[in-house]
Amino acid sequence: MIAAFEDLRGLEGLQRAPNRERHGLKLEWARRLSRSGHVLGRKAFEELSGVIRSLCIVAVDPATIREIFAQVVAEPQFAKVQIAEPQIAGEGAKIRVFHTDLEDIVTNVLRNSLQSSVLYSPKPIALGIDLVTEMDEITGLSTLAIRIKDRSTEQLSNEMLRGRYVERGMGITADLLSRYDGSIAVEPERGWQKAVVLRFFTVEEGP
């Protein structure tokens, strides 16, 4: 883009050129304008779009989840609570989401599970987190399911989540997920009381 702008420097000299030279100069500047317009228009759009796309791709792996979990556990409300290290399984995948939005989504669900577990689960409190890549056999689309499992006996249903469950911050979670065509659901989980499952479409790997 800088080179294209540099190429246009001197355009103002066209008006000061003698009449006999203007025709040739006009042809030259027409070529420059066409070339620069392509660079500053379509090429700039493509490059900037590529930068934006790269910024909103996150590789979700156990380290990512463990980092977010540590931030939630460090909150003052959990300072005096005995919380075990999370049981994290799965390799994860790349998804299209801004990292800050992913943090907000996962933080809200982890916080909700921990708050509920403080009141309604045996101690020490423990959560399990599975990173599962799922494939839709009909569409061929792949999704990453982040399954956050707890042992809290407090009731939580899909209807409560669809109703935004605002008092636990799940309204924010639902709004953020909708930006990325993601979803949230409560599902049964063997060995646990339930799992709150976040699903995101995965990013297709390039050649």
Regions in the chain scoring below 70 on pLDDT: 1-55, 162-169, 205-207
pLDDT of residue 207: 42
Q: What is the value of pTM for the model shown?
A: 0.74
Structure tokens at 98: 């801004």
pLDDT of residue 27: 62
pLDDT tens-digit readout, 83-142? 999 999 999 999 999 999 999 999 999 999 999 999 999 988 999 999 999 998 888 889
